[in-house]
Structure 1
């Protein structure tokens, strides 16, 4: 008998094919299906649940807000909830980092923020071209697709994707070639055939592209090139921001100052839709109503976002905990690569956004499937879905982190050693396992 999902849901569904269960409840780093089976969540809503499922601190303030009959939907009207969010964001996050920014509230998803950022950059400069990078991912609306690398995802647009130029990301040709040299040459050569861009859009750590981490030096050189040529630097921090790399913003360790920053996913802290664009004050050239959206005033998300910033970011204790767990994660993944060097190529990423690259993408699929059978939810990333991507909640306990990595190690061992194991779910066929946020 077919389920209601098979009868009524579009075939575009993706993650439900990778993790074939019907989930019922969740708390922290644990999620349970309708049969009561427990899973450890190394997926965290594709990075939207940095503070875990149903975080009790955030749940309490949300319930209190709802029960008080406070404003939920407000477009861009001023509300008490929005005022508190802006104050907390400014006082705890922006000012201590020397970021003088205005906040644009866009539609509620990351791709809405990216579209707004590119649109503003074109308005500011009068140019149309946008520079982007190999293996970048910025969303699936048409403008965002034009600066996204994945061929499979781009092909669904149904139209030519133009007004962008793809450049090689840091390390694309290995360690022997700094790809900023190529960028500088293209901009300095009047016969390069490449139009000067309005903006460069970049992720400091490419999530969907395979956990490629740009070096601090490369990011600083990129910033200098943008300043020299009057190019707007857009930093897409939608997945790798909000503490995922240790600091609140992924670019802090590089010491750069992007003109525009896009945030979404874990910004609301509770899985509620919220996206913003942080704009350098002198670049805020919007006129009233030039860019809007019905759901740009999600007050429920304002409430949980403000509470999360106050609770987790008022001092450096949370940052230190993330860095400690990140070091343990890197150590365990490094041991996996050392143990299975013919199957696992290297450790990718940084902070609590790390993973291992498999030499064979099919083995990556088999390992993820074996892990799910053991009660571990872990997705894949990279151009061939060859990277096993650890994206657990930042609040995960030490015991849960160890348990999840033990499950991952056992799953790798079963696959590479061809050890039969009862209960292993067959590998899903086709390209249904493409990672899409």
Structure 2
């Protein structure tokens, strides 16, 4: 084993994860490429689990950040006013919110995705006076106690070590393959006094479930869910931590459905450069916090404000969004072709935008594809309760050449996984 990896083996907690899947010491990255200490070049279809939608060390953001640091710009400020914060808020409002007809207050809850979810749950309970939150099967919302309570993964929930309460889980769109509408099930619970389910404070969901298996809700399902929430006075929270910031083709993943969430959770790529930043967007009439009622030492990451403000300039050009959607169409066609070309993997298409993958009914197949991909210098991960999905998360600004090179490696990896697991032979025998 490499000496540096050996040091990690000896000193870092056993909870470490990605270093096990990608056993290399990385030293440099730019755009969609990353290099290890031996000079090997990798294509990155992982994108920091959605934190690097614009790739590594994006030049415009890097220059702004370096200039800010060299000019002794404020690094840490809690929630004091700084030029960096003002510019971020102004550009967020002028470039992102106003053109979409969105009126929200911006809260800085702390630097991570679980921070924004915790703040959303808290304000929902505060404003409604109710305690329960409805979440959905296979949802993932974070690892602190409140957000873990609305997360579906049983292994992660067990890590809490205590009961996770005041939440009710409902079936996500297409969770059960049947003609029954899962939202009818939800409505029935609300209508029936004997259901044991009180009217909740809020509903929280992801439009595309990232960690849960790249499950994409239909536009009709989202619209119906919003309608139910309005009828019952339930607040609608969209967790756009992973699916947002262009990952599904539009800045907010819910835009194609035309819904208007009461609260929106953003983190990961909202900082643009991979620097920790999270925001909670709250409808003005719900923004009834007392000063300091929810706070945190690192809720003012000025360096992330600088890079985030610069990242919004991508969205000033309407062609940028269209370019994401063109690349997404290419990925969809590629994955559909793979499913048809390699029936042995028993695959089905998952996700939308540049957040897609293949779910395989063959145990261990998707993990094997990711393993072979790494051998060919492409980094991607698996998702789902049984790691049954291999997922493609290229940077949304990747060029056509880089995208095609990554897809070529994935096809080679699928072919090798079929051969190494003797699936062709098994299919012929059967």
Q: TM-score, normalised by structure 1?
A: 0.94
How far is 1:419 from its partner? 8.4
The structure 2 residue matched to 1:219, chosen from 216, 219, 222, is 222
Which residue number in structure 2 is paired with residue 158 of structure 1? 161
- The Cα offsets for residues 101-154 of structure 1, whole Å up to 9 and x where unpaired, read as 000001100000000000000000010000000000000111111000011111
Counterpart of 1:357 in structure 2 is: 359
User: Hey, what does 2:208 align to over in structure 1?
Assistant: 205
CA distance in 2, matches of 1:409, 1:201: 36
Superposition deviation, residue 367 in structure 1: 1.2
SS in structure 1 at match of 2:247? coil
Q: Report the secondary structure of 2:297's partner residue.
A: coil
**For the residues of structure 1 that align with 2:113 and 2:281, how far apart are their CA atoms?**
13
Instruction: List runs of 5+ in structure 2 lacking aligned partners.
Output: 423-430
Aligned-partner Cα distance in 1 for 2:102–2:211: 27
Aligned equivalent of 1:249: 252
User: How big is each residue's C-alpha offset from its partner over 1:190-211, in whole Å with a ceiling of 9 and x where there is no partner?
Assistant: 1111121110000011000101
User: What is the deviation of 1:362?
Assistant: 0.9
Partner of 1:387: 389
Distance 1:419 1:100, change over 3 A: closer
Question: Is 199-208 or 188-197 further displaced after alignment?
Answer: 188-197
Aligned equivalents of 1:39, 1:242: Cα separation in 2: 24
Aligned to 2:347: 345
CA distance in 2, matches of 1:309, 1:231: 32
TM-score (norm 2): 0.96
1:78 match = 81
Tell me the equivalent position of 2:62: 59
1:336, 1:344 within 8 Å by CA — same for their partners in 2? no
The number of residue pairs the alignment matches comes to 419
Map 1:138-153 onto structure 2 (within 5 A).
138-153=141-156
Tell me which residue corresponds to 2:137.
Answer: 134
1:375 alignment counterpart = 377
Aligned mate of 1:171, from 170, 174, 189: 174
Q: Which moved more, 1:299-308 or 1:342-351?
A: 342-351
User: Does 2:291 align with 1:288?
Assistant: yes
Give 1:79 shift.
Answer: 0.5
Other-structure match for 2:426: none
1:276 and 2:284 are equivalent in the alignment: no
Please name the residue that 2:316 is paired with.
Answer: 314
- Answer yes or no: is the 8 Å Cα contact 2:50–2:269 preserved in 1: yes
1:209–1:381 contact (8 Å) kept in structure 2? yes
Task: Give the deviation of 1:418 after TM superposition.
Answer: 2.6
Q: Secondary structure at the match of 2:382?
A: strand
Q: Does 2:34 align with 1:35?
A: no
- For 2:19, the equivalent position in structure 1 comes to 16
Partner in structure 2 of residue 427 of structure 1: none
What SS does structure 2 have at the residue aligned with 1:337? helix
CA distance in 2, matches of 1:85, 1:77: 14
Give CA-to-partner distance per residue, 1:63-121, whole Å, 9 cap, x none.
11111111111000011110010000001111111111000001100000000000000
Q: Would the alpha carbon gap of residues 329 and 93 (structure 1) be closer, same or farther in structure 2, given more than 3 Å must change?
A: same
Distance 1:265 1:53 in 2: 13
